[in-house]
Amino acid sequence: MLKQAILNIVALVSTLACAAEAKVEAQSTQSQATIIIAADEPTKTYDPMIFGGFIEHLGKQIYGGFFEPGSPLADAKGFRLDVIKAVKELKVPVIRWPGGCFVDSYHWQKGVGEKRQPYDDDRWGVLEPNTFGTHEFIELCRRLGAEPYICQNSLASIQEMADWVAYCNATTGPFAEMREKNGHPEPFNVRFWSVGNEKVGRGYIDKVRDTAEAMKKVDESILVTCSGSHGPRADIDPYLFKTAGKYLDLLSVHEYWIPNFQEHHAPDYLSCMMLSEKPDTHISAVVKSIDEAEMRGQIKIAFDEWNLRSWHHPGFSGHQPRKVDYQDPEIVALIKAREKSLEPSLYTMADALFCASFYNACLRNADDVTMANIACIVNQTGPLYVHPKGIVKRTHFHTMAMYANMLKEHVAKAQVKSERLTYGSSSVAMVDAIATVDESGKKWAIAMMNRHPSKEVSCTLKMGELLVDGIYEATVLTADSPDAYNDIENPSRVMPKKIVLTFKEGITSLPPHSLVIVDVLIE
């Protein structure tokens, strides 16, 4: 009897196991997400400027990043050739400079000509040599094929700001002559200008009005922006539109969803994913403010500082100047603490997928968002880590390269129906997607991401009423763990791979913590 009982138990366990296997198999054939692309409806042309970048004189973004005279990897002018080559892969169309908070104590004339004037930048607590100034910035942009975007020091005089426009763009006059004397007879033709960085208040807004008017008298063709919102609050003071709106072409928006400025945080993968729908919400709130001011279409959004994580700079607000004693052990420790932002293990698949989520939000709002600039391009929290002997492409570098190189020119309407990924009291869609198409309307590039940390997702893809079926070329970015990262020892642990993606009756499988861009040809 005991033997029979054991056999019965074994049989029961076997039956349950088979049932469990059948259930898993049934679940794997059931779609957990559906992407419906409105293939026959009008599309939007998005501006590639959303793939822009930002560099500031903080940490090793410029000195020890793009610019390192004396390095065996630099040319005779001091530009790091390996860094330029890598950033060219991102096709960065516009670069914002010199700040950021750094600009609040920056005076452009100290950084041009043969006799540069170094100074103690007590806003960031750095000794600024001024060897990288306007001419070097313009040359960097030209080498990268990027438009230069200059952010002005709004604490300087209106005349000083207007003079910088003249120095860059005038063909005649004292500043054109000054530029020629400094080695560049042809105008730089800088199109994009910002009146200040992260300023608020009606006094600032009044100065925006007067400065924008003065700058456009120097060159009426320039495009001007100013501080619109920074931080989690996305609503805009109506006084800005009423007072300065007619002089503005763009409105600057900044947000870092993990604020590491003073306190350093390293949230886990799922905590980061719970933030991935916030860019959509943020952009919608800014659009609402512009719409309520009846300036939608006239003023576009420049999301010219963004990243999942802000860089770490404890003890220096960037807004309150103070005398810095660089021998003070407390100051030395505060500056040393900035190196926490360089820790390779911070930049995981969470950064890669958040980057894709941000771009999707910009693409969905292509009518309103005309520029975005990741902060920053190199070092600190940027996609490219630069060290004395070479470079490391962080996870979000590959996302940026995929979007800049693989998407088509127009974005189509796409509806995503997805199960929710829940963590604590928060949740986001497990799958997000964006669909792009070329001018012919036949060649599609569809970006799909699975935010789940450990499970594949069955996803149905429809072009209108047509189920996508067959085998297609694709590129996938994923890793052996959602916490995977690249560093000097293992620079290729996370990198994109070419694959073939099979759709059967519209259904394909998306790997866990992955971004997939698939090419679909519709005859």
**Which pLDDT tens digit goes with each residue over 110-167?**
999 999 989 888 778 888 999 999 999 999 999 999 999 999 999 999 999 999 999 9
pLDDT computed for residue 20 by the predictor: 34
pLDDT computed for residue 281 by the predictor: 97
Task: Report the C-alpha gap between 224 and 211 in whole angstroms.
Answer: 10
pLDDT tens-digit series, residues 437-479: 999 999 999 999 999 999 999 999 999 989 999 999 999 999 9
The token duo for 66 is: 């793009």
Q: 395 near 348, Cβ under 8 Å?
A: yes
Task: Report the C-alpha gap between 167 and 74 in whole angstroms.
Answer: 28
Asked if the model's pLDDT at residue 505 lies above 80, the reply is yes
Q: How confident is the model at residue 232 (pLDDT cuts 50, 70, 90)?
A: confident
Nearest to 359 by CA among 400, 320, 392, 318: 400
Asked if the model's pLDDT at residue 11 lies above 60, the reply is no
pLDDT tens-digit series, residues 73-108: 999 999 999 999 999 999 999 999 999 999 999 999
Domain 30-44+410-521 in CATH 2.60.40.1180? The answer is yes
In sequence order, the 6+-apart residues with CB closer than 8 A to the CB of 386 are 60, 64, 65, 66, 80, 83, 378, 379
* Listed range (12-26, 175-189, 245-259, 350-364) with the worst mean pLDDT: 12-26
Count of alpha carbons within 13 Å of 136, Cβ hemisphere only?
A: 24
Q: Give residue limits of the domains in the chain.
A: 30-44+410-521, 47-406
CA 52 to chain centre: 7
Percent share of the chain, pLDDT over 90 = 86
Count of alpha carbons within 13 Å of 331, Cβ hemisphere only?
A: 12
Asked if the model's pLDDT at residue 9 lies above 60, the reply is no
DSSP H stretches of helix in 338-455: 349-364, 395-406
Domain 47-406 in CATH 3.20.20.80? The answer is yes
pLDDT computed for residue 139 by the predictor: 98
Q: 495 near 398, Cβ under 8 Å?
A: yes
pLDDT computed for residue 493 by the predictor: 97
pLDDT tens-digit series, residues 384-439: 999 999 999 999 999 999 999 999 999 999 999 999 999 999 999 999 999 999 99
Asked if the model's pLDDT at residue 189 lies above 50, the reply is yes
User: Residue 67: phi, psi to the nearest 5?
Assistant: -130, 115
pLDDT computed for residue 30 by the predictor: 52
Burial of 433 (0-12, 13-18, 19+ CB in 10 A): buried
Nearest to 35 by CA among 282, 360, 398: 360
DSSP H stretches of helix in 365-461: 395-406
Q: How confident is the model at residue 317 (pLDDT cuts 50, 70, 90)?
A: low
Task: Report the C-alpha gap between 48 and 125 in whole angstroms.
Answer: 35
Task: Report the C-alpha gap between 510 and 346 in whole angstroms.
Answer: 24
User: Residue 42: phi, psi to the nearest 5?
Assistant: -60, 145
Strand positions, DSSP E, 310-396: 369-375, 384-387, 390-393
Q: For all residues of the chain together, what is the average pLDDT?
A: 92
